Every structure is written in C-alpha cells, then in structure tokens.
Structure 1
C-alpha cells in the first residue's frame, strides 16, 4: 500500500528513537512502488524514510539494505547514508530510515557544467568497480559470467529484430557488435547497475551520496558507464573517464568505452521491449523514436564515408 508524507513521518518517528518530525520534503525515487520522503526533525535533523508499497519493492529494498551494509566496510562508505532504524509494516515487510543524503540531486546539467564533478563521479565509479567480488557475493548479489551477459544481449536484440522493430542498418550494426568476441571479453566486476539522477547526490563539485543498490550485481563495468557516455558531451565524459582510469588500481579493458557505447544503444531495445511487455504506448513510441534517430545517424555516417571515399579517389586521379 502507498503511504503519504504524514504516514512516512510517523514511520520515521517509530523507527528512530528521539526523532520528532517537524516537516517533510519530497525525494525522487527511481521506482513508483517505493514511497520515499525526507523528514526534518527538531534541531534540524534530516533523515530519509523508504517504505515499499508492494511485495516486489519490499524485496528490492531488502537487497538494497543488505548491499548497503556490506559496503560500509569499503571506501564507498563515505557516500552511503547510514541506516538508522527499521519499523515493521502492518501488511508485512518493513520500512527503513537512513540519514538523509548530503547535498542535492545530481542532475546531468551539473555534470555538463562542472569538470570537477565529472571527475568526482569517475572516481566513485572506480571505487564501485573495485569492491572485492567476494564481498559483493557475500551480500547476496547475482553474479554473471561473460558468456551469460553476451547471451542476454543476443536475446534482447533478437526479440526486437524478430518483432520487426529494427531498421536494417540498426540490426546489422548491433549484430556486428555482438559478433565481435574481443569486445565482449569481460571480467565481471561489482557494479551499481542502475545509475540515474535519482540515485546520485552532489555537494558543490563532488559526489556526496549514492543510493539504491537494488540492481547491483557482478557483471559488466561498462553498464555503469553506458548511461553517461550516451548523455554527456564527449569532452566531459573524457574527463570523467580519465579520473575513472586514474582511480583504478589496474588497467581497464582496452575497449571498455566502445562496449559502454554499445550498451547505451542496446538499452533502447530493452526500453522498447519493456514498453511492449507492459503495453505502455508512450514508452514504445519513445523507444521507436530513438531507434529512428540511430538509423538516421548511421545513414549520415554512410553518406559521409562515401563522400570521403569519392574525394580520395578524385585526389588520386589528379596526381601526375
């Protein structure tokens, strides 16, 4: 069941001894079946309460809390709001109260405008990807092999193709990427799995908080970079990526950026299939628009290549 901000404030008071709520503030959440609110208590104390509204969201919240607990012993603890308490819900499950994330939600415009913030996020991503695999698996996250990840991509692209949703050029490009075995020679690492503006917070020019670990798993590090390489200006992403590489104790896969770009494109197919499965025409239309844009970009690249080839042939013929 969904709860309003007053009910959430009451849950926070029950979970945290001594907390006297004064007012509430809205906090965006990545999923519709989690009720989240910021609570401001006496003396200005700020906490965040999260309550699941379905069994599925309760399972995700429990996973989030378990991973959060495992990460408190890693360098990431400085950006993970600590858990303060729990309260059982009448319908089953429990709500959780944490310290409120420090700072403000990190919007893409913030990254575009601040090289320092982009570098800070690059460093945080590197720390995520260097969490020991045994620690991640001890927290109960799923672990995937490189072969399983590639098979998952194949299945998704095939579903989009067989449904008649892919133009020929897009289909050929994606199939060609999937056939490049070297590109998918992945060493699985711990990843956040669902980075978004709702999960990141910043203070001045640094990442101050990171939440929602319910999609974390041991998989392809390129997954966490795909969203960023698809949306940031190339110059800003290069700064983020340079900080990422400097923070890592080992060298990155030589084609990690290329794979992140591919995953950014594949995400469109995933979005389309999600829309089709849920019957959401707005999502389907949005995904088809993005596929059409990619098809147009590929057509323009083909024209540009043809012009360069033609000009080169002309230059050779003019030579004595």
Structure 2
C-alpha cells in the first residue's frame, strides 16, 4: 500500500496526465480509512487518497458515482463547493483517486449554540441538497427509496435488533408505535446527502463553503439529514428545523421532527447490530449501555405502567398505611469490664461467646489513593473521539451491505 507522500504524488501524476506536482504533504484522514496526501499541482490544491480496507474502497466507489452524478449544472445550483474528481489509477490491489481539495474550518456539533450564525447556513445547505432534481440521482444509478421502502428498511432494522434479545421492551414498543403510524411516513422523498454530520462540512466566516463525503448520496427521507443536529441539543435542532421549514416545502414539520428523532435513536440499533455481526463485545456492551440510558430517559416521559422495562417494577406501599416494622436484632452479650482490647488485638473465641474480628486501621502506605477526576475538556474530547469512531464504523458497516458498481476506470 502507498504510504509515503512521494509515492502518493507519483500516483497522482499517473492518475492526472500532465500534472506537475510542486509541493506535497501527508494529509490527516479523520476517518482513518484512507492514506491521503495534500499536493499542489498546476496552481491548485489537490487531494490523493488510497483506501486502507475493502470497506473504504466500497465507500470510495460510491462517492465516485455520486460526484459523477453531480453534474456541472447541479453544482452551480448549490451554495457550497463539492469535490471534483480529476482522475484515478491503480495502486496495488486498490486504486488512488485525485480530487480537488476544499478549504475551510471544521466544527464540532457540541460547540453549536441556538443563536449561532452558522445555523442559517446549515439550514440553507441541507435545503439546497433536498431541492436537487430526483432524476439526477436516478440517472446516476444511485439508490432511490420512496416512503414505503424507507419504512420497510426501518422495520427490518428493528426486527433484527429485537431478535438479539438485547433490545429493551420500552424501546421496542416505542419504535413499533412509530412504524405503525401511517401519518408519520407520509412524506415526499428527496435527494439526501445520507451522511450529513458536522464532520463533512467546511466553514468560512460562519458560512458553509464545502460539503464532503458523498458516498451515501441517494433519494430518501429528508429527515435523515437533520437527525445529527440532535446531538447539539433540542434548542439547536429546533432552531435549524424552523429555518429549514421556512426555506423548504417539508409538509408537516411535526412528523419531520419525529422521524429525525427516530433516526437518531435507530443509530443505537445499527451500532448494536454492528457489534453483534462482528462479534465485538465492546461494541455490544456500549450499545446496551446506550439503550439502558434511553430506557431511563423514556421512563421519565411515560407512566410506570407503560415503561415496560426488563427489570421488575418497584413495589410502592400505600402512603396511608405504615410500612411493616423490621424485626429487632438479638441483643449482643454484655461485655466484661475486665477485657481490655486494643485496636490490634484479637480476642480468642470461646464456646460461650461468639467470635469477633478486630477492626484494623488502614495503612496509609498501602491505602488506595483516589484517582483524579478528568477535566471537563478531557471528558468532552473523549466523547467526541468515541462518537467519531462510532460514526465511522457505522458508515463502514452500512456500506458493506450496499452493492455499488465500481467504475471501469478504477480497475
């Protein structure tokens, strides 16, 4: 596999005939799925990437089809830039792809505030993607799903999660109620990015200037591109939703909101299934812990009679009646006045008195010291790192099941 920047630069000149590389540097791939380098050629900043794994190669193939479907006319209608494929060539058993490199700053979803200026740009960006012609996706050979197919896809995921016997009854009941609602799934499908998160946007001066990672571009439910905003809190989500509804003809905003929240919850089911199918107990345990937290949250919103938790409900006594008294403990035998025990002495047990163990003071040299609590910034960094890893693995698992034709030029 190509790993040095000089090898990647050589591959770039092979992929783009006549390209002259004047500068190069290794580029940090946030997903960890590609070896990439940033090069300067013919006065432009370019990016060359080689997949590390077969799953990354599938994702790259899907993105090549998506970028090819976004013709010049469609790109002109978007208020942001999209990477442009310049060429590709063989790189061992895989391939190297050269695209234009978009410039901009990254954002973290947890940094978003309900009054941030960038929220308007987020709403306009998502609405512009959803306003693209559906025929553009169909002619590009990309997946097209109507409301019935989206609903059936969700039903299959819920059924698979239920068959693991790790899905709490509360969560299963909630998701089945959503699937049985006819009005919830009455929406007009539209072109969706499919993997829209804070990781794929580039920002300059509170405006989105570029959108990356088009490997899941398809026709589907517009609510799927809004679900990620729930990680920033309800206020941020509602603020973007209101701006989006003012721009786009979304129909009933309440059903759009409900489906976005449902998709956010279903990410836990996808995470659970990924752990089960790959036999990764750490992922399964993480998903089960997330489901338990979801149960706790849902239980607070519902009555105890409908909570449906796996554990037995706590019995509540009638407030008008006193609780039963506990039986009194048997009295201890009187202590002899002549006995003079110290903290380190142990009395010899006899047949007439029960044996006892003297209490010892802990040795300060061997006592365990309390660990310092991590700072708030450290906890936040750990959460973001875990979320990024979870998102990357989820998208890899999702793309494994998606059959995408690899362009002939890549062979």
TM above 0.5? yes
Partner of 2:365: none
- Residues 77 and 65 of structure 1, relative CA distance in 2, 3 Å threshold: farther
Distance of aligned partners of 1:25 and 1:115 in 2 relative to their CA distance in 1, 3 Å threshold: same
Q: Distance in 2 between matches of 1:192 and 1:156?
A: 20
Structure of greater Rg: 2
Equivalent in the alignment of 1:8: 8
Deviation at 1:4, TM superposition (A): 4.3
Q: Which residue of 1 aligns with 2:390?
A: none
1:46 aligns with 2:48: no
Q: Which residue of 1 aligns with 2:63?
A: 64
SS of match in other structure, 2:96: strand
Partner of 1:236: 236
Unaligned runs of 5+ in 1: 307-320
> Secondary structure of 1:79's partner?
coil
Matching residue of 2:83:
81
CA–CA distance in 1 between the matches of 2:115 and 2:34? 31
Q: Report the CA distance between 1:159 and its aligned residue.
A: 1.7
Partner of 2:35: 35
4+ runs of 1 displaced by more than 4 Å?
Answer: 40-43, 303-306
Q: Distance between the aligned counterparts of 1:189 and 1:176, measured in 2?
A: 25
Whether contact under 8 Å (1:118, 1:237) holds in the other structure is: no
Shift of 1:95: 2.0
**Alpha-carbon RMSD:** 2.6
Return the alpha-carbon distance in structure 2 between the equivalents of residues 185 and 278 of structure 1: 35
1:169 alignment counterpart: 170
Is the Cα contact below 8 Å between 2:223 and 2:260 reproduced in 1?
yes
1:237: Cα distance to partner?
A: 1.7
Structure 1 residue 107: Cα displacement: 2.0
Query: Does the 8 Å contact 2:87/2:99 carry over to 1?
Result: no
| Secondary structure of residue in 1 paired with 2:176 | helix
- The equivalent of 2:345 in structure 1 is none
Tell me by how many angstroms 1:175 deviates: 1.1
Contact 1:23–1:40 (CA under 8 A) maintained in structure 2: no
d(CA) in 2 for partners of 1:226, 1:267: 10
Pairing 1:107-122 to 2, within 5 Å after superposition: 107-112=108-113, 115-122=116-123
After TM superposition, the structure 1 = structure 2 runs for residues 123-142 of structure 1, keeping only pairs within 5 Å, are 123-142=124-143
TM-score of the two chains, using structure 1 as the length reference: 0.84
Aligned-partner Cα distance in 2 for 1:15–1:77? 29
* Partner SS, residue 295 of structure 1: helix
Post-superposition Cα deviations, 1:28-65, rounded to whole Å, max 9, x if no partner, equal: 23xx543333335697x522222234455334323312
Moved more, 133-142 or 113-122: 113-122
- Structure number with higher helix proportion: 1
Moved more, 212-221 or 54-63: 54-63
The number of residue pairs the alignment matches comes to 300
Kindly report which structure 2 residues correspond to 1:133-282, keeping only aligned pairs within 5 A, or say none: 133-229=134-230, 231-248=231-248, 250-254=249-253, 255-282=255-282
